[in-house]
Amino acid sequence: MTAAPEELYEVELQVNGVQRTASVPARRLLSDFLRHDLGLTGTHVGCEHGVCGACTVIVDGRPMRSCLMLAVSARGHEITTVEGLGTPGDMHPVQQAFRECHGLQCGFCTPGFLTTVAAFIEENPSPTEEDAREAVSGNLCRCTGYQNIVKATVRAAEIARERRA
């Protein structure tokens, strides 16, 4: 017996300011949609059950787990992935801060931290170290030991303030 082909759903959404469309089965996770259907492999996938945070993207301004969202549910929404934060020549404050503070080693967890922290410093432009720890508490890093990530988070807010000044 051959299984009937899965029904496809047209998913149209905005990713990093660009309108994108693809036809996918309902069970396609947003993380896989970004990586496989749109070719945006900056979003990483670690655990697929919400624990590691590597897949975090910004949905309508708020960071969310892309592995815990169906692509069909994201229809019509605005997504920002790590690719949308900045470029090597024009880094987002968060990217600059992670580089300056050595907030990464292997880089696997980094896209999730960058998106989480980018949204966080919008909401809290002058975080304390404690605020920074709370903000990144849902992201796992197996390399750095977190100290430099916390520093980078505080520094990112500082860079953003400097740039606004």
Partner 1 sequence: MKPSPFAYSAPESLDELLRVLADVGSDGKVLAGGQSLLPILNMRLAAPSHIVDINRLPGLAFVQVDESGVRVGALARHADVERDDEAHRVLPLLRQALRLVAHPVIRNRGTTVGSLAHADPAGEMTAVLALTGGTVELARLGSTRTVGAADFFLAPLESAVQAGELAVSAFFPAFPSRTGTAFVEVARRHGDYAMCGVAAAVTLDADGAVVAARTAYVSVGPTPTVVDLTETVTGRPAATADWGPAAELARASVEPESDIHASADYRSHLTGVLTERALRAAAGAAA
Ligand X SMILES: Cc1cc2nc3c(=O)[nH]c(=O)nc-3n(C[C@H](O)[C@H](O)[C@H](O)COP(=O)(O)OP(=O)(O)OC[C@H]3O[C@@H](n4cnc5c(N)ncnc54)[C@H](O)[C@@H]3O)c2cc1C
Q: Report whether 81 contacts 131 (CB < 8 A).
A: no
The answer to whether residue 53 forms part of the interface with ligand FES (CB under 6 A) is yes
Residue among 14, 36, 42, 48 that touches partner 1 (CB under 8 A): 48
Q: Which residues pair with 14 in a beta bridge?
A: 19, 78
Residue among 48, 100, 131, 158 that touches ligand FES (CB under 6 A): 48
Site for partner 1 in 115-144 (CB under 8 A): 116, 120, 134-135, 137-139
Among residues 41 and 100, whose Cβ is nearest to partner 1? 41
Residue among 8, 10, 50, 125 that touches ligand X (CB under 6 A): 50
CB of residue 156 to ligand FES, shortest distance in Å = 16
The answer to whether residue 51 forms part of the interface with ligand X (CB under 6 A) is yes
Q: Give one word for 102, left, alpha or beta, with left for phi > 0 and alpha for psi -120 to 50.
A: left
CB of residue 68 to ligand X, shortest distance in Å = 6
Count Cβ atoms below 10 Å from residue 5 Cβ, excluding itself.
7
